[in-house]
Amino acid sequence: MKTRQGFVSNSSSTSFSVFGIMLKGDETDSLLDRVLGPVKTTKDPGCSCDINRDEVKFCPVCGKPAWIETTEERDDPCEYETEIEEKLGLEVISWNGGENCGEGTYIGKNLRYWSKELPAIEKIEILGNVNNRLVELFPDKKANFFSDGTYDG
Ligand SMILES: [Zn+2]
């Protein structure tokens, strides 16, 4: 689910409570690499001269690089949110890095939309399952409760 959308009004914030883990910038990048595979690098000729490019670093005719490598960037992790959620089987609550985002990227269970009718014992069971999945995926982290907010405006 997206928590970045916010409301159409001047400067509002949306707070949320999460059970799960928080990832900081580098950790978010490595999660994206881990789940989606490494970013693609494409290789294009650096010029249009008729040369044997694989034997030189620079074109002997015009001096331009023989090949130009372009590495794709994942600049907006929100784009991959649904895919990440499906692959992890967990919710992603707020991405860090974006200007409207909270302190970090939270992975786990968003407690905001929990039905009030759901008995605590069932919630505990659900959190137990979320915790088991998190332990599998992020053995170095210990899940906890977090409160944070996303800002709009
Ligand atoms: Zn050239």
pLDDT tens-digit readout, 24-34:
877 888 888 88
Q: What's the gap between Cα 51 and its chain centre? A: 42
User: What residues does each domain of the chain span?
Assistant: 14-39+75-141, 41-73
Smallest Cα–Cα separation from 3: which of 101, 129, 69? 101
Q: How far is the CA of 42 from the centre of ligand 1 (A)?
A: 19
Is the dihedral angle over the CA atoms 87, 92, 98, 103 positive or is it negative?
Answer: negative
In 3-state terms, what secondary structure has residue 68? Answer: strand
Reading the block at residue 50, the tokens are: 């008729």
Q: What is the mean pLDDT of residues 120-125?
A: 96
Tell me, yes or no, if the pTM score tops 0.75: no
pLDDT tens-digit readout, 12-56:
667 778 999 998 877 888 888 888 888 888 999 999 999 999 999
Q: How far is the CA of 81 from the centre of ligand 1 (A)?
A: 42
Q: How far is the CA of 153 from the centre of ligand 1 (A)?
A: 49
Q: How far is the CA of 70 from the centre of ligand 1 (A)?
A: 18
Q: How far is the CA of 73 from the centre of ligand 1 (A)?
A: 27
How confident is the model at residue 79, as a pLDDT?
79
Which residues, chain by chain, have CB under 5 Å from ion ligand 1? 47, 49, 59, 61-62
Smallest Cα–Cα separation from 16: which of 132, 106, 127? 106
In 3-state terms, what secondary structure has residue 86? Answer: helix
Q: How far is the CA of 59 from the centre of ligand 1 (A)?
A: 5
Q: Residue 69 pLDDT more than 80?
A: yes
